[in-house]
Amino acid sequence: MPARLNLVVLGKQGAGKGTQCKRLAETYSIPHVSTGDILRAAVKADSALGREVAAVLEAGALVSDDLVIKLVEARFEEPDAARGALLDGFPRTLAQAEALERILGDDGVKLCVDLEVPIELVTARLSSRRVCQECGSIYRDTDISAISGTCEKCGGDVIQRADDQPDAIHKRLETYERDTAPLLEFYKSRGLLVSVNGDQAPDEVTGAIMTAVHERGLA
């Protein structure tokens, strides 16, 4: 394995990025770095950056590229990221991708995986999703915990987020196409992009990603 195995995982909301990153993080012993987790951790830690994030979120605004970049940079300074990381939700824009190159330096991104899933499928997945407000655990609307409204892991409230409503889903997917899809060309031009069919069983998706990693001699 190289000094740092830095993998970027892209895909529409609901494509299964979180599921695959958790699996691969265990396989390669590198952390799953999720933008959402970083934001929540910063707010919980009440750090200087965390207070900035909290103020932005309380105002109902979007966290700026500059602030997200600072948080990601700080995350890569933590000991567990010494061997690399699986990036989920970052970069979202070309500006963030360029900043990531600066943060990683010579180590750089080793591979960018694009999980291809039809819009109809991700819309159905997101519409049925329920999330624990406390720990972020994800359920489906048919799960007992989702029906009861109580998280089986921490006892927190399980809700349907406002951005998982149909109109919000449509807007999020439009935003993805506008801001994040150009990243595919960014990584393709660097010879780092591999597309994986995300409309398969989770084990098959994981296997396809691992094959791509091994074919490039990254692990």
The CATH code of the domain that includes 64 is 3.40.50.300
Query: Is 172 labeled as catalytic in the residue annotation?
Result: yes
Contact in structure between 10 and 177 (CB atoms under 8 Å): no
Query: Is 92 labeled as catalytic in the residue annotation?
Result: yes
Would you say residue 1 has pLDDT above 70? Answer: no
Q: Which domain holds residue 131?
A: 5-215
Q: How far is CA 193 from the centre of its chain?
A: 17
Would you say residue 165 has pLDDT above 90? Answer: no
Residue 208 CB partners (closer than 8 Å, separation 6+): 196, 197, 200
| The one catalytic residue among 161, 178, 190, 216 | 161
| The one catalytic residue among 17, 110, 125, 130 | 17
Strands in 129-132's sheet, in edge-to-edge order, are 138-140, 129-132, 158-159
Q: Which pLDDT value is given to residue 2?
A: 52
Would you say residue 3 has pLDDT above 70? Answer: no
| The one catalytic residue among 22, 40, 83, 92 | 92
Q: In angstroms, rounded to a whole number, what is the distance separating the alpha carbons of residues 138 and 187?
A: 30
The count of structural domains within the chain is 1
Mean pLDDT of the chain: 91
Mean pLDDT of all residues in 57-66: 84
Query: Is 129 labeled as catalytic in the residue annotation?
Result: yes
Q: In angstroms, rounded to a whole number, what is the distance separating the alpha carbons of residues 77 and 74?
A: 5
> Tell me, what DSSP letter sits at residue 29?
T
Q: Which residue has the higher pLDDT, 3 or 193?
A: 193
